Structure 1
Amino acid sequence: MVIFPILIIISAVFYIYYKVAILREKSTLTQKYFNGRARSCLGAFLIAFAINQYALLLTQISLFVGLVIFAFGVLQLVRGLKEARHYQKEWRRLYPQ
């Protein structure tokens, strides 16, 4: 079960990276795109954390808490992917190559 702690660390690092990138960016459209990416990283973090939590403890309470965290993670991941996809298309529409 080494994969889940690795996923937790990687998603946390990318979440922090995108949140810092928001502060450095001037364009509002790019900030919203980075926020969507950060939200999807947060969702991946929550999902990996919930699975890891249940895999370590294997109790009924950790199952219920893990399911709640997992559900919030899925919601964050889906919303973040939709936001990032939307703002990426919007950026391509405004700045054609």
Structure 2
Amino acid sequence: MIIFPIVIVLSIVLYLYYKVAILKTRDGLTQAYFNAKARICLGIFILSFGINQYIFYQTKVSLFIGMLFVILGILQLIRGVRETKHYRNEWKRLNPAD
């Protein structure tokens, strides 16, 4: 399964990209939006890492650790999606002409 390592590397690169983008901007709303996007990438990273570990090792210990990572990844992903929607709507509300 080559797809999970690709997703893992891509999501960690995007996570770092959004964290650096937070440092480059001064607007608090944009920083919160980028942080929400980074949370989505972190959730995808943790989720795919948990699945990859179980597929790679296939033991009971890796199953439990993988399930824990999958649950944490899903929680991060859901929270990031909700925050992204919220901050996108706030930006649209504050900038109706754009």
Give the TM-score of the pair, scaled to structure 1: 0.99
Q: Distance in 2 between matches of 1:30 and 1:96?
A: 16
Q: Distance in 1 between matches of 2:51 and 2:90?
A: 35
CA drift of 1:96 comes to 1.1
Amino acid in the other structure paired with 1:20? V
Deviations 1:16-69 (A, max 9, x none): 000000000110000000000000100000011000000000000000000001
Structure 2 residue aligned with 1:94: 94
Structure 2 residue aligned with 1:52: 52
Kindly report structure 1 stretches of 4+ aligned residues shifted beyond 2 Å. Answer: none
Where in structure 2 are there 5+ consecutive unaligned residues? none
1:16-95 aligned at under 5 Å gives the runs: 16-95=16-95
Could you tell me the percent identity over the aligned residues? Answer: 54
Give the TM-score of the pair, scaled to structure 2: 0.98
Q: Distance in 2 between matches of 1:44 and 1:62?
A: 18
Where in structure 1 are there 5+ consecutive unaligned residues? none
Amino acid in the other structure paired with 2:82? K
Aligned residue pairs: how many? 97
- Where 2:67 maps in the other structure, the secondary structure is helix
Structure 2 residue aligned with 1:15: 15
Q: Distance in 1 between matches of 2:38 and 2:81?
A: 9
